Amino acid sequence: MSALLLARIQFAFTIGFHFLFPAMTLGVTLVILISETGYLIKKEERYRRITDFLVRLLGLIFVTGAATGLTMEFSFGTNWSNYSRAVGDIFGPLLAAEGVIAFFLESVFLGVLIFARNRVSPRVYWLSALLVFIGGHLSAFWILAANSWMQTPAGYAVDTAGKIALTSFADAVFNPSTHVRLIHTVLAAWMTGAVMVAGIAGYYVRKGLHGQTARTMLKIAIILFALTPVLQLGAGHMHAVEVINMQPEKAAALEGHFVTSRGVPLYAVGWVDTAGETTYGIYVPKLLSFLYNFDFDSEIKGLRDFPKAHWPPVNLVFQAYHVMVGIGMLAIALGLLGAFLLVTGRLYRTRWYLFVLPFLIPLPHLAHETGWMTAEIGRQPWIIYGLMKTADAASVVVSAGNVLFSLVMFSLIYLLLFVMFVMLCVKLVKQGPAS
Amino acid sequence: METIQNFQILWYVLIFVLLLGYSLLDGFDLGIGSLLPFLGRDKEERDTLIHSIGPVWDGNEVWLITGGGALFAAFPQAYATAFSGFYLAMMLVLFALIFRAVSMEFRAHDPARAGLWETALVVGSGAATLLFGVALGNVIYGVPLDSRMEYTGDFLTLLRPVPLLFGLTGLAAVLLQGAAWAVMKTDGALQQRAFKAVRVLLWVNGAVAILYFIVMAAAFPGLPGRPLFYAGVLLTLLGLVGLFFSARKRNDGAPFWESSCSFIGLWLVAGAAQFPNLIKASNDPRLSLTIFNSSTGLHTLKVMSVIALIGMPIVIGYTVFVYRIFKGKTRPSDSY
């Protein structure tokens, strides 16, 4: 295998693994902020117990996320040095801003959350929860702005030497896909946290453990679980429209759409024969055209309008996208069902629903992983859409043997981290939010 | 041209300050981590040591993350050359930092395997510290580069005597930083042991630092003409002499600041030797990566300056606020 392919596998593996943790971090800090606000206002023990329990969980999540996030900052230099040489003007400031404006805030006040319950007043503790929440989301903003710039670059000029120079920082940061990607990703993260907490609390309630604390925890989580997938429907729609407008090849790959036409169908499931340029599956006629601009006959560009060399791996993108959408639809149904049970007062005794909740915990992760596969594989062969090919981005001095060594090491270390993380989470859940 | 040069110099200074801040702050965390088995005789003592850094190490590591981001933003050529060129060494640093990061949290949640996670903390902290010093020694002392700014050496090139001396000097300074932190944050038998470590490390640091100054003056012919060199030497010696008396008087607050002072001196000497190079080419000085040929454009440097000059004072402000929350001796209740 070539050094380039190994570097791509390593990046996909390490970023895919890393993202599990920031997604949980954002979602769990939201629940912590809600429960700590409840404690500040109502002064009831159950809220403090929920916070204290989730803060211990957050400690595990955050530290694993921080450790694996360090890999990402290294990797642009270690494995993608030609990319780094080309985009220092724009990508560098976004990473640096993330450090100065966001990550310091989150990390410094996380120390207060984990260690200083008995050292600070409830107000300062609440403020720390708020600042950890804000810091985490600012982090997401800068990192997603950086990713969005790779999808829909703006605010730059290419000089005669081929170097990419910054012309407008505001345009680069608020490029055409930043806001939709931010909303879509943050909602996915909130859903991840909501389902995780709902799964844990559902288990407690079904087993009759931790009484009122568990029921309150479940209530907060179910409300978030009902809201986030529905909001995601709107955010996902906005994002899809943006992709059709800004990255038409990717949009065409999402639905295996080859020939530019009007009245384009939307597939529920399917299979793309890329060589034969045909897509098979179950579809709703004209629905994609309708969803694009609420006109059943609107025109959607097909892949044939673009050189084959610029096509992403179509079937892979199609499948990843449809898994994500499928989970999103399932989440809407299950979230609304939970809200219905809550409103009708049956949530705490509908045993089958409580039984199912813990098994849902991996689903939002599968959705955001396949969502990122859609976004990133869908952008190929480009690393910066329309500007730089992934094939031209790797380090020239790093041999295949070196990357193979690091890839094997990452596989072993991350496997260890994953096993430990799951084991320690299960252990923590079994201990529960006691006193 | 005059303007961009001013910003390039400003960014050299800012990254220098970020890495210096990192070495002082994460320095005591890494020092505590490395010294854990020597200072902490039983589980309770090791708990106290780990809890003394538990609330702050995370924030301290962000100085490195921001320093790396700033290097990427201001001098991407140097970031790209060093990180790709020193690939295996960088991966080892990364693995060490990953283990260091998770070890404390996992140890708290997994008492059955506390010994394993302590080993991960000790090895991770020590290895990361040593390797950082060696990497820094290499970019300052010089490595072979080609005309495309790419590194042409291999892993063994990095392990020459002068860069290794950098690694040892950094390790000695970090261990002292850790011992001085332990003196400040603990009491009783543990503190007495920390005082003893300070007294031993004081002499180790003195010996290594003098060797480092002599080697630097010999390796960089221009260095003895630079006032910053003498300022650095003076700061280090003042710090160590002050530390000698503080340790004798059993003063538990001053050693940390005196150790930091000594560490700053080492950094000033390194900076005086390096500036305006970022990565010196050992084969041909004209191939060196300098702050002038490796930077981003003027617009990026200006935007970054605004972010840094507004953002960093705020960061320092709330960092001080949080350190004050944890002021004083580490209490057993400051646990996970």
Q: What pLDDT digit, counting tens, does each position of A375-429 carry?
A: 999 999 999 999 999 999 999 999 999 999 999 999 999 999 999 999 999 999 9
Q: Is B239 among the domain residues? A: yes
Local confidence band at A162 (pLDDT 50, 70, 90 cut-offs): confident
B149 neighbourhood in chain A, CB within 8 Å:
85
pLDDT at A198 exceeding the cut of 60 = yes
Q: Find the CB nearest A96 among B72, B151, B299.
A: B72
Question: How many other CB atoms are found less than 10 A from the CB of residue B333?
Answer: 10
Q: Is A401 on the interface with B (CB under 8 A)?
A: no
Q: What is B195-264 written as a DSSP string?
A: HHHHHHHHHHHHHHHHHHHHHHHHH-TTGGG-HHHHHHHHHHHHHHHHHHHHHHTT-SSHHHHHHHHHHH
**pLDDT reported for residue B316:** 95
Interface contact flag, B101 A70, Cβ < 8 Å: yes
**Could you tell me which residues are beta bridge partners of residue A271?**
A280
Interface contact flag, B101 A66, Cβ < 8 Å: yes
Convert the pLDDT of each residue in A75-87 to its tens digit.
999 999 999 999 9
Question: Do residues B142 and B285 touch, judged by C-beta distance below 8 A?
Answer: no
CA B17 – CA B10 distance, rounded (Å)? 11
A402 neighbourhood in chain B, CB within 8 Å:
87-88
Interface contact flag, A115 B101, Cβ < 8 Å: no
**pLDDT reported for residue B330:** 87
Local confidence band at A434 (pLDDT 50, 70, 90 cut-offs): confident
Q: Is B336 among the domain residues? A: no
Local confidence band at A159 (pLDDT 50, 70, 90 cut-offs): confident
Interface contact flag, B82 A85, Cβ < 8 Å: no
**pLDDT reported for residue A1:** 79
Q: What is B250-316 written as a DSSP string?
A: T-SSHHHHHHHHHHHHHHHHHHHHHTTEEE-BSS-GGG-EETTTS---HHHHHHHHHHHHHHHHHHH
A141 neighbourhood in chain B, CB within 8 Å:
none
Q: Is A88 on the interface with B (CB under 8 A)?
A: yes
CA A221 – CA A207 distance, rounded (Å)? 18
- The one-digit pLDDT tens for each residue of chain B (336 residues) are 569 999 999 999 999 999 999 999 999 999 999 999 999 999 999 999 999 999 999 999 999 999 999 999 999 999 999 999 999 999 999 999 999 999 999 999 999 999 999 999 999 999 999 999 999 999 999 999 999 999 999 999 999 999 999 999 999 999 999 999 999 999 999 999 999 999 999 999 999 999 999 999 999 999 999 999 999 999 999 999 999 999 999 999 999 999 999 999 999 999 999 999 999 999 999 999 999 999 999 999 999 999 999 999 999 999 999 999 999 888 766 666
- CATH code (residue B85): 1.20.1630.10
Interface contact flag, A56 B97, Cβ < 8 Å: no
**pLDDT reported for residue B334:** 65
CA A260 – CA A283 distance, rounded (Å)? 17
Distances from the Cα of A96 to the Cα of A31, A73, A268, B15, B139, angstroms: 28, 10, 41, 11, 21
- Which residue range is the domain that position B37 belongs to? 2-325
Which ipTM was obtained for this model?
0.93
Q: What is the mean pLDDT of chain A?
A: 95
Mutate to test the interface with A, among B106, B278, B326 (most CBs of A within 10 A): B106
CA distance B250 to chain A (A): 28
Interface contact flag, B66 A417, Cβ < 8 Å: no
Query: Omega before B276 cis (within 30°)?
Result: yes
**pLDDT reported for residue B274:** 94
Question: Do residues A55 and B105 touch, judged by C-beta distance below 8 A?
Answer: no
Query: Domains in chain B: how many in total?
Result: 1
Task: Note the maximum CA span of chain B.
Answer: 62
Interface contact flag, B66 A93, Cβ < 8 Å: no
**pLDDT reported for residue B1:** 55
CA distance A229 to chain B (A): 32
Local confidence band at A232 (pLDDT 50, 70, 90 cut-offs): very high
Residue type, A387: L
Question: Do residues A370 and A211 touch, judged by C-beta distance below 8 A?
Answer: no
CA A386 – CA A372 distance, rounded (Å)? 19
Query: Chain A residue with minimal CA distance to B305?
Result: A93
Mutate to test the interface with A, among B94, B158, B310 (most CBs of A within 10 A): B94
Mutate to test the interface with A, among B11, B57, B65 (most CBs of A within 10 A): B65
Q: Is B332 among the domain residues? A: no
Q: Are strands B289-290 and B277-279 parallel, antiparallel or unpaired?
A: antiparallel
CB contact residues (below 8 A), chain A span 144-183, against chain B: 165-167, 169
Which whole number is the average pLDDT over A162-185?
Answer: 95
CA B310 – CA A85 distance, rounded (Å)? 27
B51 neighbourhood in chain A, CB within 8 Å:
115
Mutate to test the interface with A, among B62, B154, B320 (most CBs of A within 10 A): B62
Residue B50's nearest CA partner among B335, B317, B302, B271 is B335
Query: Chain B residue with minimal CA distance to A82?
Result: B80
Which whole number is the average pLDDT over A114-122?
Answer: 92
Q: Is B215 among the domain residues? A: yes
Q: Find the CB nearest B73 among A88, A104, A107.
A: A88
A107 neighbourhood in chain B, CB within 8 Å:
58-59, 61-62
**pLDDT reported for residue B336:** 60
Handedness of CA B308, B313, B316, B317 (dihedral sign): negative
Interface contact flag, B307 A97, Cβ < 8 Å: yes
Task: Give percent above pLDDT 90 in chain A.
Answer: 94
Mutate to test the interface with B, among A70, A171, A426 (most CBs of B within 10 A): A70
B83 neighbourhood in chain A, CB within 8 Å:
74, 76-78, 81, 84
Residue with tokens 């199609």: A318
Q: Which two tokens stand for residue A281?
A: 């599956």
Q: Find the CB nearest A93 among B304, B325, B334.
A: B304
